[in-house]
């Protein structure tokens, strides 16, 4: 739980302090009043980075530094951002009096964010769903984030060789094929395991949210069998090498896979109504919340950035039932839309420019 937070030279805040309640905190104010900036600061103190801005953008314009201080789970945490002469930003952390250059997974605080872009999670590009899986794995599996970065670098190197399109490049591709297959197999195996775990609880949560008996199924969608993924991917890369070279990019691998969501036996990405799609997205975010809670053995912090008003009354009420056990931060321009769902259990936090 976050008890309070102080922001200095952070985004639109020169020096501001906020105290939080242990249940629902409603951050209210007009557009451009700093609501999302406050949410960014909360996520940064928990996870070490913002979901919207680069490090330099978090420092107030024309200021050389920014700082966030908070009391989290009865301990002090700080994030400091300092501009260097070359324009780079040096970020450092202090936890309980100890200083760190970076936050390891074990030193982060579990948190779940639901923001407007996530409303496209189901109907948007497959990249959004891959990111949903990867970001969840990065917060629950030690070393996964490094594997993902290594895969992306290797993929970039292979694509650069493909674009050269000559015989020397062809001879060099084998080593990159092997490395890409090894890393790709690790990513796909973890993703498939995660999807299987999420699927085990998906039906029950959707039923509570939608009051519907429609069957929900999650599966990992890939042109490559998840069993022996690495060896199968290597075979695919070798077999499609000429085609890849002709088009200048790698056509197989976990960067082409997807999370498939089925509702009542049909692919939800294509057939779900607007209301059904939003219920399925809520289901995915609650699955994320429950998984983090189980993995960390503590309740995550929940952040809702201007999405409560995007839901109809039925889905607001369903979501409210899940929020009561978590410290939650909700941004809104209209407190009345949110407050009536929580009666006297909410802490109102006004913001201003």
Give domain status of residue 117, yes or no: no
Domain stop point among 270, 297, 324: 297
Residue 53 has a pLDDT of 85
Domain CATH code at residue 161: 1.20.1050.90
pLDDT in tens, 317-329: 888 888 888 999 9
Residue 312 has a pLDDT of 80
**Phi-psi region at 34: left, alpha or beta (left = phi > 0; alpha = psi -120 to 50):** left
Residues in the chain: 353
Residues 106 and 161 grouped into a single domain? no
Domain stop point among 279, 297, 315: 297
Residue 311 has a pLDDT of 80
Range of the domain at 37: 1-110+298-353
Give domain status of residue 118, yes or no: no
Residues 224 and 307 grouped into a single domain? no
- In sequence order, the 6+-apart residues with CB closer than 8 A to the CB of 118 are 281, 285, 307
User: Is 108:100 a contact under the CB 8 Å cutoff?
Assistant: no
Residues 274 and 320 grouped into a single domain? no
Residues 176 and 32 grouped into a single domain? no
Domain CATH code at residue 67: 3.40.50.300
Give domain status of residue 75, yes or no: yes
Residues 131 and 277 grouped into a single domain? yes
Give domain status of residue 224, yes or no: yes
Residues 39 and 128 grouped into a single domain? no
Give domain status of residue 116, yes or no: no
Query: What's the whole-model pTM score?
Result: 0.89
User: Is 16:320 a contact under the CB 8 Å cutoff?
Assistant: no
Residues 190 and 49 grouped into a single domain? no
Give domain status of residue 188, yes or no: yes
Residues 9 and 70 grouped into a single domain? yes
Residues 304 and 292 grouped into a single domain? no
Residues 172 and 246 grouped into a single domain? yes
Residues 37 and 138 grouped into a single domain? no
Residue 170 has a pLDDT of 66
Domain stop point among 261, 282, 297: 297
Give domain status of residue 115, yes or no: no
Q: Return d(Cα 307, Cα 309) in angstroms, integer.
A: 5
Q: What tokens does 347 get?
A: 């802490």
pLDDT in tens, 56-115: 999 999 899 999 999 998 799 999 999 998 889 999 999 998 999 999 999 999 999 998
Residues 11 and 142 grouped into a single domain? no
User: Is 39:303 a contact under the CB 8 Å cutoff?
Assistant: yes
Residue 2 has a pLDDT of 96
How is 264-309 classified by DSSP, letter by letter?
TTEEHHHH--HHHHHHHHHHHHHHHHHHHHHHHTSPPEEEEES-GG
Residues of the chain with confidence (pLDDT) below 70: 167-170, 343-344, 352-353
Residue 100 has a pLDDT of 95
- In sequence order, the 6+-apart residues with CB closer than 8 A to the CB of 260 are 218, 219, 220, 221, 267, 269
User: Is 320:341 a contact under the CB 8 Å cutoff?
Assistant: yes
Give domain status of residue 45, yes or no: yes
Q: How many domains does the chain have?
A: 2
């Amino acid at each position: 739980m976050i008890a309070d937070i102080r922001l200095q030279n952070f985004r639109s805040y020169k020096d501001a302090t906020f105290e939080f309640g242990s249940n629902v905190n409603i951050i209210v104010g007009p557009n451009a009043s700093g609501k999302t900036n406050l949410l960014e600061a909360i996520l940064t103190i928990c996870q070490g980075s913002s979901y919207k801005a680069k490090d330099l953008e978090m420092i107030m314009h024309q200021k050389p530094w920014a700082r966030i201080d908070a009391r989290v789970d009865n301990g002090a945490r700080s994030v400091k951002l300092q501009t260097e002469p070359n324009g780079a930003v040096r970020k450092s952390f202090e936890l309980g009096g100890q200083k760190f250059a970076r936050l390891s997974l074990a030193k982060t605080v579990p948190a779940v964010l639901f923001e407007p872009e996530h409303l496209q999670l189901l109907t948007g590009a497959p990249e959004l769903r891959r990111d949903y899986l990867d970001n969840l794995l990065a917060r629950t599996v030690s070393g996964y984030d490094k594997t993902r970065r290594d895969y992306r670098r290797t993929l970039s190197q292979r694509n650069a060789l493909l674009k050269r399109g000559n015989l020397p490049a062809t001879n060099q591709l084998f080593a990159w094929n092997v490395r890409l297959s090894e890393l790709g197999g690790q990513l796909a195996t973890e993703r498939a395991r995660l999807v299987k775990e999420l699927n085990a609880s998906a039906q029950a949560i959707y039923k509570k949210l939608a009051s519907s008996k429609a069957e929900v199924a999650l599966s990992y969608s890939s042109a490559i069998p998840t069993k022996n993924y690495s060896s199968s991917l290597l075979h695919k890369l070798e077999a499609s090498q000429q085609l890849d070279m002709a088009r200048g990019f790698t056509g197989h691998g976990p960067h082409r896979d997807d999370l498939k969501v089925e509702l009542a036996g049909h692919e939800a990405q294509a057939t779900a109504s607007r209301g059904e799609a939003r219920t399925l997205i809520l289901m995915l975010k609650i699955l994320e919340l429950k998984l983090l809670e189980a993995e960390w053995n503590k309740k995550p912090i929940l952040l809702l950035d201007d999405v409560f008003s995007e839901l109809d009354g039925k889905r607001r009420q369903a979501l409210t039932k899940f929020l009561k056990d978590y410290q939650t931060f909700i941004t809104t321009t209209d407190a009345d839309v949110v407050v009536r769902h929580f009666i006297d259990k909410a802490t109102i936090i006004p913001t201003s420019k």
